[in-house]
């Protein structure tokens, strides 16, 4: 096993500094920095995951198309569909 040098200045093992070892075609082993996983957007009422919307980081969301950020139904996937079922039952 060979010793690896960091590619960035931050040497601490924090959540924003995760890295994995990858072997290059030349046979060297180098660190590749891993981005944080995106989270599913959540319903404001019941706090459940909004399915059909791609989990992403906030910066990625700015360059994503509208099709990936919404769902094709009334209110565009902002509240969960379960909330609509409960509301219609309570109101009637």
Q: Model confidence over 25-71: pLDDT tens digits? A: 999 999 999 999 999 888 888 888 888 888 999 999 999 998 888 88
* pLDDT given at position 18: 96
Element (H, E) at 31: strand 29-33
Q: In the predicted model, is pLDDT for residue 23 greater than 70?
A: yes
Helix spans in 1-92 (H): 58-63, 66-69, 81-91
Write b or e for each residue in 58-88: b if 16 or more Cβ atoms lie within 10 A of its Cβ, otherwise e.
eeeeeeeeeeeeeeeeeeebebbeebeeeee
Angstrom distance (rounded) from CA 67 to CA 86: 27
Tokens encoding 22: 């990858």
């Amino acid at each position: 096993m060979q010793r690896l040098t960091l590619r960035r200045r931050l040497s601490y093992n924090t959540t924003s500094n995760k890295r994995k070892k990858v072997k290059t075609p030349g046979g060297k082993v180098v660190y590749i920095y891993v981005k944080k996983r995106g989270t599913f957007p959540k319903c404001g009422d019941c706090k459940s995951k909004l399915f059909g919307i791609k989990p992403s980081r906030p910066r990625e969301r700015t360059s994503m198309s509208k099709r990936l950020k919404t769902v094709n139904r009334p209110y565009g996937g902002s509240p969960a569909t379960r909330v609509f079922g409960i509301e219609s039952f309570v109101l009637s």
